[in-house]
Structure 1
Amino acid sequence: MVAEISVEELESRLREGLPTHLVDVRQPWENELAALPGSQLLPLGELVGRADEVEAPAGALVVVYCHHGVRSLTGVAILQRAGLADVVSLEGGIDAWSLRIDADVPRY
């Protein structure tokens, strides 16, 4: 089972400065429209071959996100199979972030 984190929990982690690494598994055009600050873009279709590019600092929670939280579930599974242990999916994706945390992040 893939673990998830709510947008409220993520916002709290970021506000508190807890080690967190954001991985965006959407397409580049989606990332250009809206992205969470400091996130690393690794499109889902490329993730199997690029999982070793995840640039998470030691001890960081890796939070994978997409538009609505569906592709990120697959992204988490891929990263776990690649050996990353502390990986979760952002429940509701960037759309939930826009609705509940930061309305300045564009919805699409």
Structure 2
Amino acid sequence: MHAITVQELKQLLDDGQNIFLLDVREDDEVRDLPMKGQKFHHIPLGQLPDRYDELPHDRAVVVFCKAGGRSARAIDFLEAQHGFRNLTNLIGGMTAWAKEIDHTLLPA
């Protein structure tokens, strides 16, 4: 499975790369810890079997969750069941993004 650090993702986004960001966290997690300033597509992990057709096959997709575990499971599912080959896991997920990129997301 291909993986990327939050620093690498930030650089790609800053460079204007056409990356599809897929958030597989639950609704309450997205509300509590949003990825500010970035456009992302939200499909909770449990809904992926019914909504995988919303994902592009023709551009890079970075999948993230809170810490990287659910996003890895999402990638395993999408690759094995639906033939996706353009998926990358965000190492450390939103927890790493908050600690290393956007400190405003950390609790006060």
Give the TM-score range, shorter chain: 0.7 to 0.9
User: What amino acid does structure 2 have at the position aligned with 1:71?
Assistant: R
- The question of 1:62 aligning with 2:61 is answered yes
| TM-score of the two chains, using structure 2 as the length reference | 0.88
User: What amino acid does structure 2 have at the position aligned with 1:44?
Assistant: L
- State the SS of the aligned residue for 2:99: helix
Q: 2:85 matched to which residue of 1? A: 85
User: What amino acid does structure 2 have at the position aligned with 1:90?
Assistant: L
| TM-score of the two chains, using structure 1 as the length reference | 0.88
| Partners of 2:39 and 2:99 in 1: CA distance | 20
| Partners of 1:89 and 1:96 in 2: CA distance | 13
CA contact (8 A) 2:6 2:96 kept: yes
Identity of aligned residues (%): 33
Q: 1:15 matched to which residue of 2? A: 14
Q: Which runs of 5+ in 1 are unaligned?
A: none
Runs of 4+ that moved beyond 6 A? none
Query: Which range is displaced more, 35-44 or 4-13?
Result: 35-44
Q: Structure 1 residue 35: deviation in Å?
A: 2.2
| Partners of 2:57 and 2:46 in 1: CA distance | 24
Q: 1:46 matched to which residue of 2? A: 47
Computed over aligned residues only, the root mean square deviation of the Cα atoms, in angstroms, reads: 1.5
Whose helix fraction is larger, Structure 1's or Structure 2's? 2
| Partners of 2:44 and 2:5 in 1: CA distance | 21
User: What amino acid does structure 1 have at the position aligned with 2:78?
Assistant: L
| Partners of 1:30 and 1:51 in 2: CA distance | 20
Deviations 1:30-75 (A, max 9, x none): 1111222211110001112211112x483x2100000011100011
Q: Which runs of 5+ in 2 are unaligned?
A: none
CA contact (8 A) 1:47 1:75 kept: yes
Aligned residues: 104
